[in-house]
A and B are shown apart, each in its own frame.
Chain A
Amino acid sequence: MSIYRNLTIKQKQIVWAWTFLAVPVVFYSVIRFYPTGTAILISFQDWNLLGARTWTGFDNYIKLWNDPVFWKVFRNTFAYLLIGTPVSLVLSFVIAYHLDKVRFMHGFMRMLYFLPFMTSAVAMAWVWRWFYQAVPIGLFNNVLASFGIAQIEFLNSTTNALPAVLAPAVWAGLGFQVIIFMAGIRAIPTSYYEAARIDGVGWWVVLTQITLPLLRPTIVFIVVFSSIGFLRIFDHVFNMTTNNPGGPLNATKPLVLMIYDTAFNSFNMGYAAAQTVVLFTILMCVSLIQLRLLRSS
């Protein structure tokens, strides 16, 4: 204690700071950084969890490159991303743009759109899975039948399954994006709009020359946020296809589901670790693109 007392104010600050940081620094080292290294290490090994770990160099990566399932999964993952992100971006902007102009029961309307964001992916995957069943079970096909329209195979079809799994994922995230867009729209100074009105400019010009350019940071944020979400899609897919994980002929299987299967059903740890490194690399690229886009704005 007497040593502490003899320290200068500056030195005391250093002691306090490192006291406060001691536990977190250990936590981040042991629970975040060390495992990152372990994952990369295991990706160069062959290991079935019970036997010996043997070094195999780039074998896992070569195997991945030559694995047709991986390429199918890779295409699926990017299909989720390339359909999901633009669809949810456009929908959420259109909703936010109009919702912002609504005065009557504004809070209630906003609540309707936001509510799905508060649900759990697992619960809602089961609800949607029920909707997609054939007659007499599924809601969608029951409705179609009541209009005399032919039945649609949703989850058991190689072409329909992926969009059918994607729809609830888009639905669940929409509310969040709407709220972020509305906050972005609110943040635009009204003086811009007043100036435009005095100049007698039409709504389309206002939208494309004022609103959208000024929303750039918001749009970048939402694009990156939802891209990362779709690249990591798992809960929805897993729960909508538990009887046949990944859908018919892997039609819906995303990368994270492949990782889960390889590691915890086949116990092929090295191969699974290599897949996680690939996912990490993709996500890293998305984040770096984000940094670049935000910096240049």
Chain B
Amino acid sequence: MAKKSISANRNMGQILRWLVLFGGGVLMVMPIAYMISTSLKWPHEVYNVNLIPVEPTLDNYMFVLEDGRFYMWFINSGIIAVLTTISNLLFDSLVGYTLCKFKFPGRTIVFIAILSTLMIPTEMLVIPWYLMSQSFGWLDSYWGIMFPGLMTGFGTFLMKQFFETVPDDFIEAARIDGLNELQIWWTVALPLVKPALAALAIFVFLGNWTAFLWPLIVTNSTEMYTIPVGLSGFGDEADVAWELIMTGAAISTIPTLIVFLIFQRFIIRGVVMAGLKG
């Protein structure tokens, strides 16, 4: 009898824990939910605190997309995020692989040098980068937005850690089979660290999609803005209503949310890997 009431208590505790956590979780997604709900509301309904729009409409999306600018910023951000991701995957993995699997003079110095870049904050570099971009004519161009992030010390370090799990025997065997070093990296080593590549791809893509400070500095024409820079200026226009700002915010956020919902497990595992390794 006593045993039964303990387990009943435990069940009550479990249910209570679940309910409190669920309530907290709902609060966590509330801002995102309100952003989407408001983007679907008619102007007269915006200041109603109801989460569910009475008469949902895609009018705001039509308006914002017909304006043309969001479409442009979206494309800019997409191109920049994809290209920097590809560059990081190639170079970070190549450098990480070289530092892990080759014995050569200068290896330690290169590794320490790359690792030490993790300590240099971007904020310190934006002024020199700006001067550099100015003298080379990179201001207001895709290249200007992208060049600082083409490789990262974080990515190199992450990849090096993962190449350490690839047995040297595999690489030796490939050498005996007559593959050259570039082929070994590409066909033997890279496929073995696919989870790490996926984690790195997610981080770099998300980081560049949401990057704000450097794109804000290096761009100055509306056509070259990335989506965060564009959204920031769009919100500031005096005649813009909140439902349109929420629509813009939703346009910049929904793609990453969709990617997350599809690759959820993968992304969470990637976060854990990067967090514990990095």
Contact = CB atoms under 8 A, between A and B. Distances in A.
B194 interface: no
Classify chain B's interface size. 35 or more
B105 interface: yes
Contacts of A109: 21-22, 25
B26 A123 contact: no
A239 B227 CA distance: 13
A234 interface: yes
B21 A259 contact: no
A223 to B, nearest CB: 13
A154 interface: no
A129 to B, nearest CB: 8
Contact of B249 (A24, A124, A136): A124
Identify whether the interface residues of A are mostly helix, strand, loop, or mixed: helix
Given A13-B102, A42-B127, A280-B120, A122 B212 contact: yes
Given A27-B151, A114-B268, A115-B28, A17 B107 contact: yes
Contacts of B236: 242-243
A79 interface: no
Interface residues of A, number: 89
Contacts, number: 251
A126 B245 contact: yes
Interface in A1-42: 10, 13-14, 16-18, 20-21, 23-25, 27-28, 31-36, 38-39, 42
A32 B117 contact: yes
Given A118-B260, A127-B35, A283-B119, A171 B28 contact: yes
A293 B119 CA distance: 17
A139 B34 contact: yes
B104 A123 contact: no
Contacts of A14: 102, 104-105
A181 B107 CA distance: 34
